[in-house]
């Protein structure tokens, strides 16, 4: 009995020491660089948002936060690679409505489970889509755009960040609501698509990340896909005001870690990222892009939101008619 008691005492002591070491490690997090995976090409909204978060987070935690773009397959390549990373909080992912809510209904092989492969960290915000055309476009209103599209089926083309991206789903919804026929040209990210829109290789885009080009006069905005006008584009009507009822489409963004990441690490990351989002300078830069920041969510709240969005996008993908191409 004395030997057993001694063994049990040693085991309890070992457990206490292990727990103490675990708490010490959590308290010290992070003690080296963090990688932030952006599963889209550089230059698009997801990339820009990711870089704002990376810069702010780096300044708050005192460690480098390195952005790693892994584009392809509508965000699936980078995301599938990410979920195989060690769940220690040192590799994070910019999650989006396209990759993490729409793609599960578009791709038979994702390489990840949208509800089980992630440990949601923090919600960033959403951006309503905006119907944009090149500055030299003859269209100055939704009415002019739709009139031409209906009289010339198939002649107008548009770009997107890929099949199932927010741009694709929003454009498909517009097609569903208005009956127009247009040609979809998918890219490996919204950045390259916007570049072709600026150079007039595309006729239009319904995009989330090129408001700065509109404000600079390089693009014309005809309507916003939200229930109210954007503060950044006060003179641009909503689709409802322009005569297209039911045209509501926004892209949301957040940060996630691989499933299995310790709760204390998630809590610390959540705290720091929410503080980054509350920083007036970062907040202003995100709002300038059209991001409607927050409200702040706990990891548990964001996990619930992401799960519900997977279900909701099943209906949206079906309604919009979006299919793999």
CATH number of domain containing 40: 3.40.190.150
52 and 138 in a single domain? The answer is: no
23 and 98 in a single domain? The answer is: yes
pLDDT tens digit sequence for 180-234: 999 999 998 888 999 999 999 999 999 987 888 999 999 999 999 988 888 889 9
pLDDT tens digit sequence for 234-276: 999 999 999 999 998 888 999 999 999 999 999 999 999 999 9
109 and 197 in a single domain? The answer is: no
pLDDT score of 18: 45
Q: Which domain holds residue 218?
A: 130-224
151 and 97 in a single domain? The answer is: no
313 burial class (0-12, 13-18, 19+ CB within 10 angstroms)? buried
201 and 170 in a single domain? The answer is: yes
Residue in the structure block whose two tokens are 């709002």: 287
29 and 106 in a single domain? The answer is: yes
CATH number of domain containing 181: 3.40.190.10
Nearest to 212 by CA among 221, 204, 225, 201: 221
169 and 203 in a single domain? The answer is: yes
User: Into how many domains does the chain fold?
Assistant: 2
Give a yes or no: residue 76 inside a domain.
Answer: yes
Give a yes or no: residue 204 inside a domain.
Answer: yes
In this prediction, residues 271-300 reach a mean pLDDT of: 93
111 and 151 in a single domain? The answer is: no
In this prediction, residues 167-189 reach a mean pLDDT of: 91
In this prediction, residues 75-89 reach a mean pLDDT of: 97
122 and 137 in a single domain? The answer is: no
Separation in Å, CA 324 to CA 109, 164, 186, 317, 321:
12, 8, 11, 11, 10
Give a yes or no: residue 29 inside a domain.
Answer: yes
273 and 139 in a single domain? The answer is: no
106 and 145 in a single domain? The answer is: no
Give a yes or no: residue 209 inside a domain.
Answer: yes
163 and 65 in a single domain? The answer is: no
Residue in the structure block whose two tokens are 């089926």: 153
Which is more confident, 24 or 258? 258
pLDDT score of 324: 64
| E strand residue ranges, the chain | 34-38, 65-69, 91-96, 118-128, 130-134, 157-160, 183-186, 205-207, 219-224, 250-258, 292-293
């Amino acid at each position: 009995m004395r030997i057993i008691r001694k063994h049990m005492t040693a085991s309890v002591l070992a457990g206490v020491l292990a727990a103490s070491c675990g708490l010490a490690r959590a308290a010290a997090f992070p003690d080296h660089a963090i990688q932030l995976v952006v599963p889209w090409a550089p230059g698009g909204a997801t990339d820009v948002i990711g870089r704002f978060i990376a810069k702010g987070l780096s300044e708050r935690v005192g460690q480098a936060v390195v952005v790693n773009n892994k584009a392809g397959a509508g965000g699936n390549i980078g995301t599938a690679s990410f979920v195989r990373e060690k769940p220690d909080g040192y590799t994070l992912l910019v999650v989006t409505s396209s990759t993490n809510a729409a793609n599960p209904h578009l791709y038979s092989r994702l390489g990840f489970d949208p509800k089980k492969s992630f440990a949601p960290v923090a919600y960033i915000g959403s951006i309503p889509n905006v119907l944009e055309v090149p500055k030299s476009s003859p269209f100055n209103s939704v009415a002019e755009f739709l009139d031409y599209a209906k009289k010339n089926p198939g002649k107008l083309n548009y770009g997107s960040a890929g099949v199932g991206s927010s741009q694709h789903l929003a454009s498909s919804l517009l097609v569903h609501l208005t009956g127009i026929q247009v040609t979809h040209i998918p890219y490996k990210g919204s950045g390259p698509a916007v570049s072709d829109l600026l150079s007039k290789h595309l006729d239009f885009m319904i995009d989330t990340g090129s408001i700065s080009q509109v404000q600079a006069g390089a693009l014309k905005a005809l309507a916003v896909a939200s229930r109210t006008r954007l503060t950044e584009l006060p003179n641009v009507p909503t689709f409802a005001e322009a005569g297209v009822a039911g045209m509501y489409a926004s892209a949301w963004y957040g940060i996630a870690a691989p499933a299995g990441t310790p709760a204390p690490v998630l809590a610390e990351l959540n705290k720091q990222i929410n503080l980054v989002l509350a920083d007036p300078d970062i907040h202003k830069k995100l709002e300038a892009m059209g991001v409607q920041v927050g409200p702040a969510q706990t990891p548990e709240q964001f996990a619930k939101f992401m799960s519900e969005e997977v279900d909701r996008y099943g209906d949206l993908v079906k309604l919009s008619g979006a299919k793999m191409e």
